[in-house]
Structure 1
Amino acid sequence: MAKLVALYKKPDDKAAFDSYYFSKHVPLAKKIPGLRAYEVSDGSVAIPLGESPFHLVALLSFDSLEAIQQGLASPEGAATAADLANFAGAGVDLLIFDTKAV
């Protein structure tokens, strides 16, 4: 299984972020071809020491890195990426990796 992790930094207006994210962005992202699962953090995002710079973490699962690349290159993936500018003004870090059980 391969993952795309989106680390959304704390916005100035958390309520506006959440409203847009869940009503507009999530429905767009769920249309990305090859997407197998979509999970988000529930509640505050913590780090072991100090205050976290993150408001929300999204974990998108795909069958492979190739499936992520194909999904992001699709019209639905492009629309989802373009939509980030509409609500993620504080910034977002995207991580893409393959996983294995250990």
Structure 2
Amino acid sequence: MYNLVLLAARPPEWTHERFIDWWRGDHAELTRRLPGLRAWRHTDIDAAFEPRSECWDGLSVLSFDTADDLRKALRSPEWAEAVAQVGDMRGRRIAVMGGELEMHAG
């Protein structure tokens, strides 16, 4: 799998609950339509392991078969629509891409 990993913090005027509800609700309706999307996992962050990791609200991992499939999704009208929905929310995010290797299957 090749993943797009997004770590996000809510807009300053939103509550954590509102942000997670939006991400898993209205925004999810657009995200699910991305061409080539094979899996999508979302984590509602409710605690930080250490002080420097505070202030993040959620983590999404969007999985595609290949890097090319992800790049096609990022050029799609569905991606453009999802980005437009985010608009100028003023939240923060970190977005990274890379190949996945399963290190342990319990």
State the TM bucket, normalised to the shorter chain: 0.7 to 0.9
For residues 30-57 of structure 1, what are the alpha-carbon distances to aligned partners after superposition, in whole Å with 9 as ceiling and x for unaligned?
Answer: 000000001011441533x225231100
> 1:18 maps to which residue?
20
How many residue pairs get matched?
A: 100
In structure 1, what residue type is equivalent to 2:19? F
> 2:9 maps to which residue?
9
> 1:93 maps to which residue?
94
TM-score, with normalisation over the residues of structure 1?
Answer: 0.83
| Aligned partner of 1:57 among 56, 59, 63 | 59
Distance 2:23 2:83 in 1: 13
Query: Secondary structure of the residue that 1:32 maps to in structure 2?
Result: coil
Tell me if structure 1 keeps the 8 A contact 2:20–2:57. no
Tell me if structure 2 keeps the 8 A contact 1:45–1:56. no
Runs of 4+ displaced beyond 3 Å = none
| Root mean square deviation of aligned Cα | 1.9
Query: Secondary structure of the residue that 2:40 maps to in structure 1?
Result: strand
Query: Secondary structure of the residue that 1:54 maps to in structure 2?
Result: coil
| Unaligned 5+ runs, structure 1 | none
For residues 9-34 of structure 1, what are the alpha-carbon distances to aligned partners after superposition, in whole Å with 9 as ceiling and x for unaligned?
Answer: 24432222122222210110000000
Query: Secondary structure of the residue that 1:19 maps to in structure 2?
Result: helix
| Unaligned 5+ runs, structure 2 | none
Query: Secondary structure of the residue that 1:41 maps to in structure 2?
Result: strand
